[in-house]
Structure 1
Amino acid sequence: MDKEFDSLPETIVLPKTGQTVIFDVYRPDKDFQDLYEIWWEVIDKGQSYLQYTTNEQEFQEVFVSKSCFVFRLMDNNKTIGAFHLKPSAPGRASHTGCYERIVHKDYRNIGLGGLMLDMIHKFAPLMGYEALIAYVFATNGASIASNLKKGLVQIGRIPRSSKLKNLDYVDTIIFHKTLITGDIN
């Protein structure tokens, strides 16, 4: 991670469950194994990411090599979800942050995805991002709903962009949100 965050780790109570989680930067010694297992399950399910298969090296290159943040359960330090932020493209587009989220299957639908978006909105400007962009498969209703709820706008749709496991081709929805205010010209 390129930047230090003095406010982390941060303790947060999940409103829907009352569970206490620790929000922190990715720490390989604490998070690698749990996070890799989540990543492997998500890839194996074949509904959220482009990869057909994965391994530890690819996981490190694709997900945790960027600015990665995690959520750990307070009671046992188990990593239950994470997101990363990276420039949408190098150079002239590096002011736009692109993010991806993964959540352990046992901790979905409890508000963790929305909490991740809150943290993305909080930390993206600190990392120099002026806007956010996300690419979401049209079959991922939970991610679509949380992006819309947090103020991202659907700006496009790529027809038949990917062939998901046990499905035909699906569209990708593109979401965007400007983070800066005032005159942007």
Structure 2
Amino acid sequence: MDETLIIRLVEPPDYEAVWEIFSAIATAGETYVYAPNTTRAEAIALWIEAPSATYVAVQSGRVLGTYYLKPNQPGLGSHVCNCGYMVSPGARGRGVATALGNHSQAEAQRLGFRAMQFNCVVSTNTTAVRLWQKLGFKIVGTLPGAFRHRQLGFVDAYVMYQQFNLIQDEAFGIIPVFWPLFSRVGSQGSGDASELGVVNHQYLLIRHQKGHWGFPKGHREAKESAEQTAQREFQEETGLPACRLMPELRFTEEYRFLKQKRGQWVEKTVVYFVGEVLPDPVGHINPATATAAQHPLPKVEIQQQEISEFRWCRYEEALALLTHEVGRQMLRQCEAALTQH
């Protein structure tokens, strides 16, 4: 039988096992504030239904431990999470609590939390205190007599806290858009750009050597503005002249990813500007004649770049082609803004 310890989200068939663990620990009255006479329904509500997520550690089909994860405070304090952990009395000393602790830290960072706080670690629970300190938590406060131990009476409790060591990364890019066709919506022959509507716009996507599709972007160099960085990266990656930026159309994506080699989480912010790619090197469009302009083709040697392919796409095709959901979110926002622009 497979002895691997698997940590996953709790499922209804697990509820009875979770209740048995909860009941044993609450009845002991040594480590948690839950009343010893807490009912099964109350326990399920407290441990599974109320938190944002609850997980179980399963080995050979048996639930050996569980933890919940939720924001420690609402609103402006919701970036700090709180977790609670329970291990079956028969499974202690087998590394289950350590596995749950490591899993919860990774999951909290993946979900966007910036720190984790334990509000009431009973001081006499020295095994737990040592474990949390080993996993990076510090005692930031002592609550005198805050816990009524069933055997020892009133004992101190600790507030323990860990701020996640996030690597900050910032980049700037351009969502390149091109309008190959113009249609008049105003009076005939005036040539006034305000009387022109644009149709069939297309987006330029790039495919990186690693296989994912996205938009041109990169990191800031010394003394560059965000706009200058975006323009430089666009020109370097496509070989095309600078775009005509639309200053009112600017989108920001934020996401986190794990650097596997170092085991550290990166908090990345990418600011995208919408840039109109012009059909000629001079950068001038004559509305009276540009009724069927051809989109410009990138002019870089692909084999010398980290890019393997370029593609101009209509919105639906671009949406399907983009690899990451954050990129698709940016495109949706851009399309909605251009439609109303």
For residue 181 of structure 1, report the CA deviation from its aligned partner. 2.9
Look at both structures and tell me which one has the larger radius of gyration over its CA atoms.
Answer: 2
Q: Show the counterpart of 1:138.
A: 123
Q: Show the counterpart of 1:160.
A: 145
User: Which deviates the most, 151-160 or 50-59?
Assistant: 50-59
Letter in 1 for 2:94: I
Q: Show the counterpart of 1:25.
A: 9
Aligned residues: 164
The 3-state SS of whatever aligns with 1:132 is strand
For residue 182 of structure 1, report the CA deviation from its aligned partner. 5.5
Q: Please list the CA deviations of residues 16-54 of structure 1 after superposition, one character each: whole Å capped at 9, or x if unmatched.
A: xxx42221101112x101110000000100111112221
2:21 alignment partner, one of 38, 41, 64: 38
Does the CA contact (< 8 Å) of 2:7 and 2:100 recur in 1?
A: no
Q: Show the counterpart of 1:92.
A: 76
2:32 alignment partner, one of 21, 45, 49: 49
For residue 120 of structure 1, report the CA deviation from its aligned partner. 1.0
Q: Show the counterpart of 1:105.
A: 89
Does the CA contact (< 8 Å) of 2:64 and 2:96 recur in 1?
A: no
Looking at structure 2, the residues matched to 179 and 51 of structure 1 have their Cα atoms a distance apart, in angstroms, of 28
For residue 175 of structure 1, report the CA deviation from its aligned partner. 0.9
Looking at structure 1, the residues matched to 54 and 117 of structure 2 have their Cα atoms a distance apart, in angstroms, of 16
Looking at structure 2, the residues matched to 121 and 54 of structure 1 have their Cα atoms a distance apart, in angstroms, of 28
Looking at structure 1, the residues matched to 166 and 34 of structure 2 have their Cα atoms a distance apart, in angstroms, of 37
Structure 1 position 68 matched with structure 2 position 54? yes
CA 1:122–1:182: 2 relative to 1, 3 Å: closer
The 3-state SS of whatever aligns with 1:169 is strand
Looking at structure 1, the residues matched to 65 and 166 of structure 2 have their Cα atoms a distance apart, in angstroms, of 30
The 3-state SS of whatever aligns with 1:23 is strand
Letter in 2 for 1:94: S
2:103 alignment partner, one of 89, 98, 119: 119
Q: Please list the CA deviations of residues 51-107 of structure 1 after superposition, one character each: whole Å capped at 9, or x if unmatched.
A: 222112211221112210111112xx1111001111111111111011110000011
Looking at structure 1, the residues matched to 57 and 29 of structure 2 have their Cα atoms a distance apart, in angstroms, of 23
Q: Please list the CA deviations of residues 119-140 of structure 1 after superposition, one character each: whole Å capped at 9, or x if unmatched.
A: 0111001222110011310011
Does the CA contact (< 8 Å) of 2:19 and 2:43 recur in 1?
A: yes
Higher relative contact order (CA 8 A, sep 6+): 1
User: With structure 2 as the length reference, what TM-score do the two structures score?
Assistant: 0.46
Stretches of structure 1 that go unaligned for 5 or more consecutive residues are 1-12, 14-18
Letter in 1 for 2:64: I
